Amino acid sequence: MCGLADFAALPGIFRGAERGRHQCSTIHGSQTLYPSDLWGFVRKVRLLVLDDLRKPSDREMRLGDDHYGVLKRILDERVGKPLVVTSNIDPWEPVGGGVPELVRTFDDRIADRIVCGTVFNLDGASRRFTQE
């Protein structure tokens, strides 16, 4: 079993679960999930994919503390377990020195937990903006 989570949606999912309002469809019907169910899934799933770890958009202005808290706990829960993080945030020190973008967006603790594993840089044209 593996799980896929959209980074931007995670705080809302956990807030809904705290109120008993997060519904999940299963083969047996709809089920209400609570925070303990979600954190149990994060701990137990064999592979977790955290999609689109990103900077806030101009509209959002900044990521909230709840994004930081959820991300930190996911990283803590997944120590020694497979985790894939997709992102357009550069984790490395910029040419000429300076603070890496990942550190500026979150902090050095988050950056360290993410880059301590294997990091792949996927170059190439964006498929999102490619016209056929």
Whether the per-residue pLDDT at 84 is higher than 60: the answer is yes
The rounded distance, in Å, linking the Cα atoms of 36 and 48 is 17
How far CA 85 is from CA of 1, 17, 48, 74, in Å, comes to: 17, 23, 9, 11
Provide the 10 A C-beta neighbour count for residue 113.
Answer: 19
**Tokens 């993410």 correspond to what residue?**
114
* pTM: predicted TM-score of the whole model, two decimal places: 0.77
Architecture in CATH for domain 2-15+46-115 = 3-Layer(aba) Sandwich (3.40)
The rounded distance, in Å, linking the Cα atoms of 130 and 132 is 7
- Give the model's confidence band at 19: pLDDT under 50 very low, under 70 low, under 90 confident, else very high: confident
- Give the model's confidence band at 117: pLDDT under 50 very low, under 70 low, under 90 confident, else very high: confident
